[in-house]
Structure 1
Amino acid sequence: MSSKSYLGALDSVLRPAGFARTGRNWIRFRDGFEDCVNLQVSSRAGTTANISSKDLATDAIWKEAVPPGSPGLYYHTTVRIGQLMDRTDHWWRRDPNGPEELSQAILTYALPYLDSRRSLENQALGFGRYDTSGFNARLRIGLAITLHRMDEHDEACAALANPPKRLLPSWLTQIEAVRRRLGCGD
């Protein structure tokens, strides 16, 4: 199947949900969020979709805190449609039913997923609240800002405490900048 048939199939389900298409991206602004569905096409793997979202208030705090020229982070959360379906990576390749199956998966899994991220509590869980398995700088910064917005100041500062020394200097700089912005002490 050509990417045009996928474009048409996704367009038919995403436009009624408030998304506007630019190229292979459908974007909507709703409830203080920017949501994006991206159609990814690979000549080898086939076609899939990436589902992304960011809370605009969290994004504003992050952008205010980090120094100019820091590496950018466009979406706070991005998952592939397969992760939402059954936790595997789904690609449709030379499948005549692919456009319909992918657009149905967007309706069934992606749109409810985006709506489920609206509460600060769910965002904090998505950023790894209560997960002690490691230190992902991007997730920790998102978690700290979200906890700050929830008035959980001590927990927000704890999320950014003691980053591993092996982190890239750009991430260490961002962590320190966000700590300062949130009013975290030494």
Structure 2
Amino acid sequence: MLQPAGFTRNGRNWIRIRDGFEDCVNLQVSSRAGTTANISYKDLATDAIWNEAVPPDAPGLYYHATVRIGQLMDRTDHWWRRDPNGPRELSQAIVTYGLPFLDSCRPLANQAASFGRGETKWFNARLRIGLAITLYRMGEHDEACAALANPPKHLLPSWLEQVEAVRLRLGCGG
């Protein structure tokens, strides 16, 4: 069902590159729970800025957003196990909920919201860096710099280095 939408299979991942995004549908298998799907995307322009600012071996955010299919369906975690209709139901759920989710993530404003735009508290450095780069791409330079200001004291040194590297790349003042 994903091939007509431009996806190519790579193991348990179905990947497509389209409109400046890398989309991924990952089938997660558990011997106890069964099978579910994780729906992810990466904005390639945001990713390029991130990679330009920080060293390639630094911890990062491979996919900018990942959500389980059940969250998109009804906000509960769904797993299909030993159900003869399971593969068909999961495939249909991916087409019905997963593909529209990926399309909804295209606008920068929607990406900024998913990264926590408007939140004053840092949840993690990955989200803040993604938010800052997205705001920068939207032309919101001051807000982008503010998003990276005052990182929490408990942030790991490797993440503090990335925050500072992105601040420099975005042209944020000292």
TM band (smaller chain): over 0.9
Check the 8 A contact 2:38/2:69 in 1, yes or no. Answer: yes
Deviations 1:133-170 (A, max 9, x none): 44321111001000000110000000000000101111
Partner of 1:70: 58
In structure 1, list runs of 5 or more residues that go unmatched.
Answer: 1-12
The answer to whether the Cα contact below 8 Å between 1:135 and 1:164 also exists between their aligned partners in 2 is no
Q: How many residues align?
A: 174
Q: Distance in 2 between matches of 1:144 and 1:133?
A: 14
State whether residues 70 and 76 of structure 2, in contact with CA within 8 Å, keep that contact through their aligned partners in structure 1.
Answer: yes
Q: Is 1:79 matched with 2:78?
A: no
Pairing 1:81-120 to 2, within 5 Å after superposition = 81-120=69-108
SS in 2 for 1:62: helix
Identity of counterpart residues, as a percentage? 83
* Structure 1 residue 131 corresponds to structure 2 residue 122: no
The equivalent residue for 1:60 is 48
Report the Cα distance in structure 2 between the residues aligned to 1:29 and 1:77, rounded to whole angstroms.
15
User: How many angstroms apart in 1 are the aligned matches of 2:56 and 2:86?
Assistant: 43
Code of the residue aligned with 2:77 in structure 1: it is: D
- TM-score between both structures, scaled by the size of structure 1: 0.90
Q: CA deviation at 1:97?
A: 1.3
Tell me whether 1:35 sits opposite 2:26 in the alignment.
no
- Give unpaired runs (5+ residues) of structure 2: none
Give the AA of the match of 1:100: R
- Which residue pairs with 1:7 in the alignment? none
Q: Report which structure shows greater RCO (CA 8 Å, sep ≥6).
A: 1
CA distance in 2, matches of 1:134, 1:184: 18
* Structure 2 CA distance for aligned equivalents of residues 160 and 22 of structure 1: 35
Contact 2:24 2:41 in 1 (8 A): yes
Asked if residue 14 in structure 1 is aligned to residue 2 in structure 2, the reply is: yes
CA distance in 2, matches of 1:53, 1:35: 4
**Equivalence for 2:36:** 48
SS at 2:84's partner residue? coil
- 8 Å CA contact 2:69, 2:78 repeated in 1: yes
Q: State the SS of the aligned residue for 2:66.
A: strand
Q: TM-score, normalised by structure 2?
A: 0.96
Post-superposition Cα deviations, 1:40-89, rounded to whole Å, max 9, x if no partner, equal 11101110001110000000000000134211421111111111111111
Deviation, structure 1 residue 132 = 2.9
1:151 partner SS: coil
Q: Kindly tell me: are residues 85 and 98 of structure 1, through their superposed partners in 2, closer, same or farther at Cα, counting changes over 3 Å?
A: same
Match for 2:27: what amino acid? L
The RMSD of aligned alpha carbons is 1.0
